[in-house]
Amino acid sequence: MTRDDTESVIDDVTENTIPDGYLRGAAPILVVMGVCGCGKTSVATAIAERQGWDSAEADDFHPQANIDKMATGIPLTDDDRWGWLDKLAAWIREHIDNGKPGVVTCSALKKVYRDKLRLPGVVFVYLSGDYDTVMELLAHRSGHFMKPAMLDSQFAILEPPSADEVHLTLDLSKHLSVEQETQAVLDALGA
């Protein structure tokens, strides 16, 4: 961390709508969300490793047809996403039913997509950044099928979580390290 290790990073969560007692007695399921290139996988992996939780990468649930579309720069439609979201929801449900905490990445750009994933114990972790901040992050990535031009289509449909959705928001313009983002999420969860 770039700051004194004793300093809390809870202030780095810019919005926290987790109701008191929401996670009491429940194994949390975190859905780390945001546009491509915002750092979902890095944050989710760090949380899972630190907590010993199961993790899943939403991209692994896409059928090959979706991957092929994205690789050629064709944005996915809602119809392309429904089966994919159903598979993610099944992963979440299995973990909730078995009392196993977990963390999964998912763009979850629209409220209707999050509604398919919203179950008791689910907390959305929104990595929020403006276009330029995310484009800077995306420009430094390699080995991913999402083309930088696809960022335009993702921002076009992005509906940030509203106050009635259980979520945490991290502001990417603060340029926190993955460790700081992870600590901020865990502090907010009381983990």
Q: Note whether residue 114 is domain-resident.
A: yes
Of 68, 166, 156, the C-alpha closest to 124 is 166
* pTM of full prediction above 0.85: yes
Residues 54, 48: contact at Cβ < 8 Å?
yes
* Amino acid in the structure at residue 93: R
78: containing domain: 10-189
- Give the 3-state secondary structure of residue 152: helix
What pLDDT, in 10s, does the model give residues 31-61?
999 998 899 999 999 999 999 999 999 989 9
Give me the number of domains the chain comprises.
1
Give the integer Cα–Cα distance in Å for 93 and 116: 11
| DSSP 8-state assignment for residue 167 | E
Q: What is the CATH number of the domain that holds 176?
A: 3.40.50.300
Residue 17 in domain: yes
Collapsing DSSP to helix, strand or coil, 190 comes out as coil
In a domain, 2, yes or no: no
